[in-house]
Amino acid sequence: MSDYKKAFIELAISCNVLRFGEFKTKAGRLSPYFFNAGLFNNGNALRQLGQFYAKAIIAAQLPFDMLFGPAYKGIPLVSAIAIALAELGYNYPFCFNRKELKDHGEGGMTIGAPLRGRVLIADDVISAGTSVQESVNIIRAEPAIPCGVIIALDRLEQGSNKISAVQEVKNLHHIPVISIINLDDIVDYLKNTDMQQNLQAIEAYRERYGAR
């Protein structure tokens, strides 16, 4: 596992973003772990989160021209990522959308740089793909092309069928989805910690709900 992946898992655990136990998901499944990126909720945590996204983006070597963050969670996220990339010498424009169209002032559906070229969408996780669908629609309505999605965690879990929600997005929109970590990384991390007691439940959950 890359050092930055291990460090990201440790940050997520320290911020209670990644927890272990028994949690009911939106799909009604009892999951042995829970990931809530909304708990990266202070300045230092957000700064580090942006840095981890930047490292994952650079590692993926995916060509893009600008960043897009879907409202609302994507607004601070895309801002933090843009800053982190700039600190590494990669100065990309970014924008985010409004929830409602503004018909006065500067107007429009987005705030920030104009949507142009190849656009990388930044989100936290993909559950049903609704946020990605909305982002793709906004981007394609402009002279721009959605070229990929970057997320924090890929649960490698079945969506509405036997493939994962992430794979559904890939198939539907024909764009890559990259992540800082996935469930395999969490499992590998736990094997070398004093939290190994969680492995059995995670493996059983993955056997039942893991993507095929």
Q: Which sequence spans correspond to the domains of the chain? A: 3-209
**Residue 102 annotated in active site:** yes
CB 82 within 8 A of CB 88: no
Neighbours of 203 (CB within 10 A): 13
Task: Look at the domain 3-209 and name its fold.
Answer: Rossmann fold (3.40.50)
Q: Taking Cα atoms as reference points, which of 65, 37, 61 lies closest to residue 139?
A: 65
Query: How much is the pLDDT for 91?
Result: 98
Rounded CA gap, 204 and 105, in Å?
54
Which of the residues 104, 173, 174, 191 is marked catalytic?
104
Rg value, the chain, Cα: 17
Look up the pTM and report it: 0.93
158-190 confidence digits (pLDDT tens):
877 778 989 999 999 999 999 999 999 999 999
CB 201 within 8 A of CB 173: no
Specify whether the backbone of 173 is left (phi greater than 0), alpha (psi in -120 to 50) or beta: alpha
Query: How much is the pLDDT for 175?
Result: 97
With 0-12 / 13-18 / 19 or more C-beta atoms within 10 angstroms meaning exposed / middle / buried, residue 136 is: buried
Query: How much is the pLDDT for 196?
Result: 92
CA–centroid distance for 115 within its chain: 20
Query: Would you state the structure tokens that stand for residue 175, as one six-digit string?
Result: 């764009």
Q: Cis bond leading into 72, ω under 30°? A: yes
Low-confidence ranges of the chain (pLDDT < 70): 101-107, 128
Rounded CA gap, 20 and 105, in Å?
47
Query: How much is the pLDDT for 102?
Result: 59
Query: How much is the pLDDT for 104?
Result: 54
Query: How much is the pLDDT for 137?
Result: 95
Which of the residues 102, 162, 170, 174 is marked catalytic?
102
Query: How much is the pLDDT for 158?
Result: 86
**Residue 99 annotated in active site:** no
- Where are any strands of DSSP class E within 70-186? 94-102, 108-112, 117-122, 144-154, 177-182
Rounded CA gap, 193 and 196, in Å?
6
CA–centroid distance for 31 within its chain: 19
